[in-house]
Structure 1
Amino acid sequence: MQIIKPNFRQESVWDFPRPPKVESTHKQIYFNESLIVDTKRAWRVLEMGYPPVYYLPPEDILWERSYPTARRFLWGLDYQRYCWAVQEGSSNIGLVS
């Protein structure tokens, strides 16, 4: 296995801690240059070997640009997560809610 050193302003998942570290962060997410999330209450979870995961408070998401889809997936044994999509013009992207 070849180890690749991260470039400037990149992180390696192998440098993340175990047990996981949770930190608060400011997060802005844009789609087609339109702001769809702006929150200073996001949580970033870092765990060795895994990419960062962000948790966003639902009230800080601009839901008027999104719509629910029929897609769902199971989380754990009995908890369902629903997928949402954001559309602007002819472009769209799926979100998980």
Structure 2
Amino acid sequence: METTWKPVNEDESGTLSSGEKRSLPDSAFAFPESRKEPLVDADHVRNAIARFDQVKGASDKEREQAFGNLRKAAKHFDIDMSETDWHQLGKPSQ
């Protein structure tokens, strides 16, 4: 599945208010369709990696896309990511 992530304004780092999050383009999220896990800076990327298995309601196809978006954002923010497949990050238990 094709990645959709694109960097946004570098001033978006830190804690995002709900208004700031709403103003982000879909391409700023690991899960663009559900707008979950914004990837606006290194801290948010690390957080999205750590919480990947907590995202509920995402299909395997959406997880595959989100993983690609995470890898792309991690590379952009110079974050080492040893995982090579989204299954290594997990899936929420039912």
Shared fold, TM over 0.5: no
TM-score for the superposition, normalised by structure 1: 0.26
User: Higher strand share goes to which structure?
Assistant: 1
User: Higher helix share goes to which structure?
Assistant: 2
TM-score for the superposition, normalised by structure 2: 0.27
